[in-house]
Amino acid sequence: MKTKIVLVIFISLLMSLLACSKSDIKTISVTELQDKIAGGWAGKMFGVSYGAPTEFRAMGEMYTDSLTWEPNRVTNSLQQDDLYVQMSFMMTMDKYGINAPADKLAESFANAGYMLWCANVQARKNFFDGIMPPLSGSPKYSLWADAIDFQIEADYIGFMCPGMPQTSNAICDNVGHIMNYGDGVYGGMFVCALYTQAYFEKDINKIVSNALLAIPAESDYAKCIQDVITLYQKYPDSWQSAWGEFEEKWGDTDLSGPLNPFNIDAKVNGAYIVMGLLYGNGDYEKTMDISIRCGQDSDCNPSNAAAVLGIRDGYSNIPGKWKGGIDAIADSIFIFTEYSFNKVVQNTLKYAEQLVTENGGKIENDVLYVKTQLPLAPAKLEVSFPGIKPVSLANINDPNWTWSGKWQTIAPPAEYVVLEQPGSKVTNAKGAEAKFTFTGTGILIVGKWDQDCGIADVLVDGQLARTIDNYYWVSNYGGDNAFLYHNLELAPGEHTIAIVNKGEKNAKATDTRLKIQAAVVYDKK
């Protein structure tokens, strides 16, 4: 009797396993997969072009001006960093393989010649300084660790991983830590997971909720997205009400735009992607309009949202109003890349087929049998700056600064992106010292990287903390409001930070200048 019972249990378990195995396999024709990949890239293109005139025009407020569109405006996408940066990563994959080492990806990214901003430019500077990934994106060497950069350039990873969020997470882990950490990496993982789900799921609510499982539930990024889902349930007919409540809780959480409405934080902008998706209900215009009107990085957010719909529906089903201008530029090359729209779609398809077969699937008679994966969050939680907030900003005229040696004051440029300042203090005198005294647990020194900048020592409470090289010159551009040095792990209390010009430079620099604009003080929340 016992033998029969055991046999029945064994057969039952075997049948369950076979059923599960069968249900894990989803089929998609090569033609349909290519159409969906094309839809994803097209969504990126017209989404970023549609939102481009609004970027950072509304910071901490809704964008209320009119929105207009003509299909030929999609030409703008050929010059957008949302596209050419990630394509340069794909070009490195073409050279070194789909598992290209992070140092090779970082090298090609750093030397690409295009302009970069925020976490990307810090990662490039770190690479030039010999700080390699994953340290290049870590909180120790980048105050932009949680910024949006990887989130807006990870799309190609999700595009090539149909139904395979674990695979996309593994690639994201390698690439994302070049420029980000923690929530900054989770932003790329989440967006990619949205794409992986959109290949085989039509319901937007399920796409979002499934993708959320790909990042740690304890992360602030996940909490942000969950709040949007909860607010959508609370205010199903009013995204404005949801936005207001969300903004009150999360709108002032960006450490990389300290004491300023500018918010480049990945999780906040990721929430605006989701707000557009949930309230847009599958309509391209409504989805993008809401993501745009939520403000902040309002070209990137509708671009990600439209890409989700593009994969879900396929290029052939995107309304002509939005994709109508793409045919005319389908063979035009995105700047700094080797790809046109047509070529990048084909290349993504090639990698998707490779990843499907490498992960237990197969291709037979132009049909892919995809062994789909459950979303699985990284085991280790990364938190960039726990319990820290900016509390004060001190420009060069603040009495807590003392300037020793020969310094001159330089008037500011006409416009500052991150911090409004009255000007800079500049010296090329060896031994000239800028000293700042403050009370708190963290400090950021803001200044300028430039072609004529040299090397300086940073001392915290009299001890050498780091030697910094402030030379930077790419595409005839240095960097105003550069984050020269930060330390957010000090003990509570009074501290003194000193920056001493060494009168030295690297071989590429034209002078030994040190340029300082401000200090930002941080403390525990």
Residue-wise pLDDT for 45-56, tens only, equals: 999 999 999 999
pLDDT (mean) for 227-251: 97
pLDDT recorded at residue 377: 98
Cβ-count burial 298-328 (b if 16+ within 10 Å, e if not)? bbbbbbbbbbbbbbbbbbeebeeebbbbbee
Joined tokens for residue 197:
């789900």
pLDDT recorded at residue 423: 86
The more confidently predicted of residues 157 and 10 is 157
pLDDT higher than 80, residue 21: no
CA distance 124 to 23: 44
Q: Each residue of 334-368: pLDDT tens digit?
A: 999 999 999 999 999 999 999 999 999 999 999 99
- Residue at token pair 């309009």: 289
Count the alpha carbons within 13 Å of 85 in the hemisphere toward its beta carbon.
26
pLDDT recorded at residue 374: 97
Q: What is the largest CA-CA distance in the chain?
A: 96
Which residues are within 8 A (CB) of 321 and not within 5 positions of it... i.e. 6 or more apart? 69, 71, 285
pLDDT recorded at residue 414: 57
pLDDT recorded at residue 135: 98
Which residues are within 8 A (CB) of 8 and not within 5 positions of it... i.e. 6 or more apart? none
Among 462, 482, 486, smallest CA distance to 473 is for 482
Q: Each residue of 367-417: pLDDT tens digit?
A: 999 999 999 999 999 999 999 999 999 999 999 999 999 999 988 765 544
pTM comes to 0.94
CA distance 257 to 296: 12
Joined tokens for residue 49:
């072009």
DSSP 73: G
pLDDT recorded at residue 290: 98
Q: Each residue of 24-37: pLDDT tens digit?
A: 999 999 999 999 99
How many of the other CB atoms lie within 10 Å of CB of 238? Answer: 13
pLDDT recorded at residue 5: 39
pLDDT recorded at residue 199: 98
Tell me what percent of the residues of the chain surpass a pLDDT of 90.
89
Angle at 11 between CA 7 and CA 17, to 5 degrees: 145
Measured over the CA atoms of residue 77, residue 80, residue 85 and residue 86, the dihedral's sign is negative
pLDDT recorded at residue 55: 96
Count the alpha carbons within 13 Å of 90 in the hemisphere toward its beta carbon.
29
pLDDT recorded at residue 10: 41
pLDDT higher than 50, residue 1: no
pLDDT recorded at residue 475: 87
Mean model confidence pLDDT for the chain: 93
pLDDT recorded at residue 9: 37
Among 368, 365, 336, 337, smallest CA distance to 355 is for 368
Q: Each residue of 249-276: pLDDT tens digit?
A: 999 888 877 888 999 999 999 999 999 9
State whether residue 241 is helix, strand or coil.
helix
Cβ-count burial 335-371 (b if 16+ within 10 Å, e if not)? ebbebbbbbbbebbbebbbebbeebebeeeeeebebb
Q: Each residue of 435-494: pLDDT tens digit?
A: 999 999 999 999 999 999 999 999 999 999 999 999 999 988 898 889 999 999 999 999
State whether residue 74 is helix, strand or coil.
helix
Q: Which domains are seen in the chain, by residue range?
A: 21-65+72-371 (1.10.4080.10), 388-524 (2.60.120.260)
pLDDT recorded at residue 413: 64
pLDDT (mean) for 130-146: 98
pLDDT (mean) for 147-174: 98
Bridge pairing between strands 514-524 and 463-469: unpaired
Helix axes 284-293, 30-51, angle to 10 degrees: 40
Q: Each residue of 86-124: pLDDT tens digit?
A: 999 999 999 999 999 999 999 999 999 899 999 999 999
CA distance 112 to 452: 22
Q: Each residue of 303-332: pLDDT tens digit?
A: 999 999 999 999 999 999 999 999 999 999
CA distance 182 to 177: 9
pLDDT (mean) for 193-215: 98
Angle at 470 between CA 466 and CA 472, to 5 degrees: 140
Q: Each residue of 406-438: pLDDT tens digit?
A: 999 988 765 544 455 678 999 999 999 999 999
Joined tokens for residue 273:
């992607």
